[in-house]
């Protein structure tokens, strides 16, 4: 361990941001005081918030920072204050839907949106989500997520976020936030930060009452900045209203009371002007958390025994009031917290005709989780008279269908078996093809480690899920399409039968066999296997042995191994991720060629499980009772996913950024570089004041790379032009990745059409985090800018330097 830590120090891991404990783990250096908000970028709203706070007494100001316990209509609430015209906050899950509501759309997962590599579609998805939250009367959308980033391929919540790459995730955060907030709904960027596994993500209690601390994610300074903090900078730059601090510890301290993380990185370095809200029950202290930068505790109570009618004490509330009165906490600190809470309310004009909360959501919540009627009556509702639900879906099914199809990645297409023509005899196999046997409203909470047995997956489980008003299964969509032209559909949906090799009901042998596999992922647990669930490999092998035109579709919450990928009878493979409620229609559109697949992998698919070597920390037995044992040392630094594969020279099954099309493309061999600035200094110029996103100089375009791409096939299609950058290796610290994504653009082309594509480079993109200077530095020497169609399919390279 000592040698490992010394090596990490050489990587630039310690600096002034972290120290080492006696046990050899990183420890956060305290950072005080909290930078006061200045309202930069939100000046008018900030002044309104300042004026409003001046009219409040201490108890009212503290109420703005303290959840009003868990209600039935919202996941969290801040009580209204009539004196200042504040209608209160309804905070609602989640990243893909107004989670516990009727007549709301279930959108594709963040992972699926990232697989589109399409800024406009990501924005349109966000805008539609914002419209539905507004329609239901929820001021705060608890999303989007950029953590978990995806350090662990088996992380249970990877699907809620976008990509394992910080650049791609940062772009998705930016466009999602702008889309949602355009509709007047606040966003909450989460989970900040280092929440990379679900196992022991939070403190737990043993049967005999012993408290065991949450896992500590031990992250060095440079890795924090260049990997995990990167997409949150994009979120702050985009104007995110709030940031949700996560359950875990970072460098031994709980994030929601970690002054280096909240005061230092978020509010000072990134210039965040909004409020920090805790994840639910992630607060562990009152004054200490407030001083460290926490502005709002949710759901308000200390523990999960709280309900709308049985409140329990809060770490904030009366405790903060008492702390001010006895001099432990200054009232000006509470004033800053309250200003931060109110500023987004005025900035997004939520004081102007914002819809009331849909009263039906309380009934939906109670009935979904079988709450007794006392919960409804305690909240002032009549259990025998549920109000009608407010329908907020509009035409959003169309957006779901487009995003899901665009996020489907074609991985294999032997002899162009896809798109399908009009096969007369089609076989549909696998328990991922059918309607969910448990019905539309299953919560997934009691589905075990693999989710429901029979039924299509649209999203994963937990607070990031959605409640379906409709869910189109692949079998439903395919039967409608195939039977419409006179074709025949045979099917087997029970994986156990196929594992037992029982295909007696299938005759004659289908011309094409479509196998639908699935992988369940959810909050609270991590995945158990890289392979798809429900004996997927045996299912594929047994179908393919009978059918020499077997097409496999996976609906998955993350990375899978595909041991059957090279089977010659498996002629095509599509990774369709979690597609949302239009599951069947979107995959049918791709299979039959109404949509030319243009998705690209936002992660790397390995040939075998051992290609990844970042195991989930999972301690069992008596050792699990020791808090100090729960440590995750991020000793790999920045080398996760494709950066790891590149550094170890491992050949993947399918690389990051990979994806096929029904047409073909070529890229010109002569990329050109244009420098936008002369006389660039290694370190950015100093700036006064705070600026959302950090030093404005980091966001200035200082160069660009241009290439030409042409559609050389017979069909219209879209290609993703990708820019990977290699730092000058002689002038950067050890631990710098071989190549990193620094630009992309999706380009639609007609047959024979060519377009010139220019990808900008900002100072931030060509800098590394100097842990001594505590700033972003552009190294001297020649950079390589590698243009291509994936991380390993590089077509042309151009070199240039910035600093002489």
The set of catalytic residues is: 279
Cα dist from 128 to 89, 133, 317, 355, 417, whole Å: 20, 9, 35, 16, 35
Three-class secondary structure of residue 513 per DSSP:
strand
> What is the full DSSP assignment across 609-677?
GGG---------GGGGG-GGG-EEE-TTTT--THHHHHHHTPPPSB-TT--B-SS-EEE-S--EEEE--
| Cβ atoms of residues 147 and 195 within 8 Å | yes
Please give the C-alpha separations between residue 343 and each of 64, 335, 540, in angstroms, as whole numbers.
12, 12, 55
Nearest CA-CA partner of 238 in 41, 46, 35, 97: 41
Contact 251, 216 (CB under 8 A): yes
Report yes or no: 276 and 262 within 8 Å, Cβ to Cβ.
Answer: yes
> Longest C-alpha distance within the chain, in Å?
83
Inter-CA distances, 517 with 511, 531, 562, 649, 650, Å: 20, 10, 11, 30, 26
CA atoms within 13 A on the CB side of 723: 27
Q: Which residues pair with 757 in a beta bridge?
A: 707
> 164, 157, 184: which is closest to 95 by C-alpha?
157
Which positions ≥6 away from 113 have C-beta within 8 Å? 121, 122, 125, 162, 172, 176, 403, 407
Q: How many residues belong to the chain?
A: 804
Q: End-to-end CA distance of the chain, in Å?
A: 39
- Which whole-number Å values give the CA distances from 500 to 68, 75, 496, 548, in the listed order? 54, 45, 6, 20
Q: Which among 163, 71, 64, 81 has a CA at the least distance from the CA of 122?
A: 163
Measured CA distances, 680 to 439, 705, 727 (Å)? 61, 18, 16
> At residue 325, what are phi and psi to the nearest 5 degrees?
-65, -30
Residue with tokens 């025949």, as numbered in its chain: 488
Strand locations in 225-274 (E): 242-245, 249-250, 253-254
Answer for the pair 521, 529: CB distance below 8 angstroms, yes or no.
no
Q: CB neighbours (10 Å) of residue 391?
A: 13
Torsion angle of the four alpha carbons 632, 633, 637, 639, in this order, in degrees rounded to the nearest 10: -50
Q: Which of 96, 159, 99, 100 is nearest to 129 (CA)?
A: 96
């Amino acid at each position: 361990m000592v040698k490992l830590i010394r090596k990490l120090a050489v990587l630039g891991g310690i600096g002034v941001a972290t120290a080492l404990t006696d046990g050899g783990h990183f420890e956060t250096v305290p950072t005080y005081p909290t930078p006061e908000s200045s309202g930069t970028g939100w000046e008018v709203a900030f002044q309104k918030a300042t004026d409003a706070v001046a009219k409040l007494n201490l108890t009212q100001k503290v109420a703005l920072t303290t959840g009003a316990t868990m209600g039935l209509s919202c996941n969290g609430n801040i009580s209204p204050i009539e004196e200042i015209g504040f209608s209160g906050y309804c905070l609602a899950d989640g990243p893909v839907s107004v989670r516990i509501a009727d007549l709301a759309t279930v959108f594709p997962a963040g992972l699926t949106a990232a697989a589109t590599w399409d800024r406009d579609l990501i924005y349109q998805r966000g805008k539609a989500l914002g419209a539905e939250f507004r329609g239901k009367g929820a001021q705060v959308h608890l999303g989007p997520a950029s953590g978990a980033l995806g350090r662990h391929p088996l992380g249970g919540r990877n699907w809620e976020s976008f990509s394992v790459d910080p650049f791609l995730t940062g772009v998705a955060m930016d466009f999602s936030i702008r889309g949602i907030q355009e509709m007047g709904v606040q966003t909450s960027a989460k989970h900040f930060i280092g929440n990379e596994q679900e196992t022991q993500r939070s403190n737990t209690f043993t049967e005999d009452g012993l408290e065991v601390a949450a896992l500590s994610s031990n992250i060095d300074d440079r890795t924090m900045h260049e990997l995990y903090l990167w997409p949150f900078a994009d979120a702050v730059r985009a104007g995110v209203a709030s940031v949700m601090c996560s359950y875990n510890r970072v460098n031994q301290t709980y994030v929601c009371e970690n002054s280096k993380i909240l005061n230092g990185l978020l509010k000072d370095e990134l210039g965040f002007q909004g409020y920090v809200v805790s994840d639910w029950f992630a607060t562990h202290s009152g004054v200490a958390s407030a001083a460290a930068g926490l502005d709002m505790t949710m759901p308000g109570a200390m523990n999960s025994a709280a309900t709308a009618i049985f409140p329990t004490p809060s770490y904030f509330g009366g405790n903060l009031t008492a702390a001010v009165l006895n001099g432990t906490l200054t009232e000006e600190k509470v004033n800053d917290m309250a200003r931060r809470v109110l500023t987004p309310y005025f900035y997004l004009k939520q004081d102007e005709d914002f819809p009331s909360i849909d009263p039906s959501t309380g009934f939906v919540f109670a009935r979904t989780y079988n709450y007794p009627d006392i919960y409804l009556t305690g909240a002032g509702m009549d259990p025998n008279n549920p109000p009608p639900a407010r329908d907020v879906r509009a035409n959003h099914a169309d957006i779901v269908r487009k995003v899901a199809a665009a996020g489907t990645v074609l991985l294999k297409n032997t002899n162009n078996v896809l798109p399908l023509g009009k096969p007369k005899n089609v076989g549909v196999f696998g328990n991922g093809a059918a309607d969910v046997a448990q019905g539309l409203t299953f919560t997934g909470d009691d589905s075990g480690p693999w989710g429901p047995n029979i039924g299509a997956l649209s999203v994963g489980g937990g607070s990031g899920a959605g409640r379906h008003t409709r869910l189109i299964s692949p079998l439903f969509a395919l039967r409608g399409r195939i039977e419409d032209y006179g074709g025949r559909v045979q099917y087997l949906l029970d994986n156990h039968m196929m594992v037992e090799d029982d295909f007696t009901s299938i005759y004659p042998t289908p011309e094409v066999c479509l196998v639908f596999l699935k992988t369940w992922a959810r909050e609270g647990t991590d995945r158990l296997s890289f392979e798809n669930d429900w004996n997927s490999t045996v299912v594929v092998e047994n179908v393919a042995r009978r059918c020499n035109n077997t097409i496999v579709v996976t609906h998955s919450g993350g990375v899978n191994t595909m041991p059957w990928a090279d089977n010659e009878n498996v002629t095509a493979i599509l990774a369709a991720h979690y597609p949302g409620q239009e599951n069947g229609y979107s995959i049918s559109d791709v299979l039959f060629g109404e949509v030319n697949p243009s998705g690209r992998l936002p992660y790397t698919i390995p040939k075998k499980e051992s290609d990844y070597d970042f195991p989930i920390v999972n301690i069992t037995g008596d050792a699990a009772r020791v808090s100090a044992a729960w440590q995750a040392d991020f000793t790999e630094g920045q080398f996760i996913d494709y950066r790891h594969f590149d550094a170890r020279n491992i050949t993947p099954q399918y690389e990051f950024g990979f994806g096929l099309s029904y047409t073909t493309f070529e890229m010109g061999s002569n990329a050109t570089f244009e420098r936008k600035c002369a006389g660039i200094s290694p370190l950015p110029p100093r700036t006064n004041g705070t600026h959302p996103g950090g030093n404005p100089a980091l966001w200035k375009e200082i160069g660009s790379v241009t290439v030409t791409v042409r559609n050389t096939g017979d069909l219209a299609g879209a290609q993703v032009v990708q820019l990977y950058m290699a730092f000058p290796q002689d002038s950067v610290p050890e631990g710098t990745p071989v190549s990193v994504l620094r630009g992309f653009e999706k380009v639609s082309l007609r047959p024979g059409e060519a377009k010139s594509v220019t990808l900008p480079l900002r100072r931030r993109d060509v800098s590394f985090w100097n842990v001594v200077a505590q700033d972003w530095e552009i190294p001297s020497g020649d950079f390589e800018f590698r243009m291509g169609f994936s991380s390993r399919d590089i077509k042309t390279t151009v070199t240039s330097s910035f600093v002489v």
